[in-house]
Each structure stands twice: as structure tokens, then as C-alpha cells.
């Protein structure tokens, strides 16, 4: 029996050359891209332009009024009803009404003053503090407090008129509430349109009698 001879074939270098070609080709492309980027750097971003000038007063006023309107519209109205005798007789929040009797005036030891505003003596006796206690909350930051006296400003006692105005400012500083004092004379009540007047009846014109010719 003849012994089988093993033929040793040389290794196939085709696949190795393909890999080397791909690597070299990729390196050339990368080098070309880097060279191109260096030759053509990206344009710098434009610097932010400075404003042409300060905004106009009218534009600032319009923006400020819009912000105030949005702030007022976001708050819940809280109406404080004040009688002609200077007594808080009710609070109104939406459909809810809270009846109470909280006097705002008291006799003054000064004979020249006669009556004094109680809120000037103690923070617990001021309108927004009274309202917060009745609602069971610590502050009125979510509310627009509307003070509604029953009498026009000109008919209010001097002590009540001054105290209410001071409470408007104190509502913001002490209760973080926005408050307004409304004069009832400034409220325009809608009036029903008048029906058109009916035409007045006219008397019938008497017939013309022909005159006799002599």
C-alpha cells in the first residue's frame, strides 16, 4: 500500500489584502475630512445684538397693566359688606355668604375725635384679619378683597373713611391680599330699555262742507 502524501498549500492572502485595503481607504477618507474641516472652519455664531434703545413708556405701561390684570383675574373675589353704621355684616365668597356683626368703629377717649377706627388700635380688628379668621385661613394671598360700604364715600364718617383706606394698604402688608375700596356711586346699574312711546291718537279730520254759491 502506498503512503498518502499531504500537499501543503500556501496561505490565501486575498482576505488579508481586502482588510488592509478597507483600513487604508477609511484612514484616507478620515484624513481628507479632517483636512477639509481645517481648511474651512465653521462661521462663528453671530453675537447677540444689543437693543436699539430702552423700551418706550407706552409699551412698558401696557405690559405692566396686562400683568396686573392677569394677577387680579387669578384671585378669588372676597366681598366685605359694610353697613352705614360702620359694621361688617357679611362676607361673600362665590355663592357662600358668612353673616357676622363686627364693628369697625368705637368711642374715642379724645373728646375732639368722638369715634375712632378700631383697626388702628389692634391688627386683630382690621378687615382682612377679620375675614381670614372667619374663613379659617392664615392669610388671604389667594383673594381679591373688595370692601363695599353701603354709603358713598362723601357720606361715610371721617374715622371710617380713613380707616378703610388704611386697611387697603394693610391687607397687602399683613395678609398678602390685594384689596380695593369701592364707592357705590361709581357702580353703574344696568337700566332696562324704555319701550317705544305709543303714537298719540289724532282726532279725525272733519269732512269739508262745500260752500253754496249765491
Residue 50 lies in a domain: no
Q: Which domain holds residue 116?
A: 76-185
Residue 62 lies in a domain: no
Residue 169 lies in a domain: yes
Residue 100 lies in a domain: yes
Instruction: Name the nearest CA neighbour of 131 among 85, 164, 100, 94.
Output: 100
Q: Is 145 exposed, middle or buried (0-12, 13-18, 19+ CB in 10 A)?
A: buried
Residue 57 lies in a domain: no
pLDDT of residue 11: 57
pLDDT band at 18 (very low <50, low <70, confident <90, very high): low
Number of Cβ atoms within 10 Å of the Cβ of 128: 27
Yes or no: say if 174 and 142 are a contact pair by the CB < 8 Å rule.
no
pLDDT band at 213 (very low <50, low <70, confident <90, very high): very low
- pLDDT of residue 214 exceeding 50, the answer is no
pLDDT band at 32 (very low <50, low <70, confident <90, very high): confident
In the chain, pLDDT over 90 holds for what percent of residues?
Answer: 57
Q: What's the number of domains the chain is made of?
A: 1
- Per residue in 160-205, pLDDT (tens digit) is 999 999 999 999 999 999 999 999 999 876 555 555 555 555 555 5
The CATH number given to whatever domain includes residue 121 is: 3.30.420
| Cα distance between residue 18 and residue 24, in whole Å | 10
pLDDT of residue 64: 95
- Per residue in 80-136, pLDDT (tens digit) is 999 999 999 999 999 999 999 999 999 998 888 889 999 999 999 999 999 999 999
Choose the weakest-confidence range: 36-45, 48-57, 103-112: 36-45
Residue 21 lies in a domain: no
Residue 173 lies in a domain: yes
Amino acid at each position: 500500500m502506498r503512503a498518502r502524501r499531504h500537499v501543503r498549500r500556501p496561505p490565501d492572502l486575498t482576505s488579508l489584502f481586502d482588510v488592509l485595503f478597507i483600513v487604508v481607504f477609511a484612514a484616507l477618507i478620515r484624513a481628507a475630512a479632517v483636512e477639509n474641516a481645517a481648511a474651512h472652519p465653521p462661521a462663528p455664531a453671530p453675537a447677540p445684538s444689543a437693543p436699539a434703545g430702552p423700551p418706550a413708556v407706552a409699551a412698558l405701561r401696557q405690559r405692566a397693566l396686562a400683568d396686573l390684570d392677569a394677577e387680579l383675574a387669578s384671585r378669588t373675589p372676597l366681598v366685605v359688606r359694610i353697613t352705614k353704621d360702620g359694621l361688617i355684616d357679611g362676607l361673600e365668597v362665590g355663592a357662600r355668604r358668612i353673616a357676622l356683626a363686627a364693628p369697625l368703629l368705637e368711642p374715642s377717649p379724645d373728646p375732639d375725635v368722638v369715634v375712632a377706627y378700631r383697626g388702628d388700635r389692634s391688627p386683630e380688628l382690621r378687615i382682612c384679619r377679620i375675614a381670614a379668621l372667619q374663613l379659617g385661613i392664615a392669610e388671604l394671598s389667594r383673594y381679591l378683597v373688595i370692601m363695599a360700604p353701603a354709603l358713598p364715600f362723601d357720606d361715610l364718617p371721617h374715622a371710617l373713611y380713613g380707616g378703610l383706606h388704611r386697611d387697603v394698604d394693610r391687607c397687602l402688608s399683613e395678609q398678602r391680599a390685594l384689596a380695593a375700596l369701592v364707592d357705590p356711586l361709581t357702580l353703574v346699574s344696568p337700566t332696562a330699555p324704555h319701550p317705544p312711546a305709543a303714537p298719540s291718537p289724532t282726532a279725525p279730520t272733519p269732512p269739508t262742507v262745500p260752500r253754496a254759491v249765491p
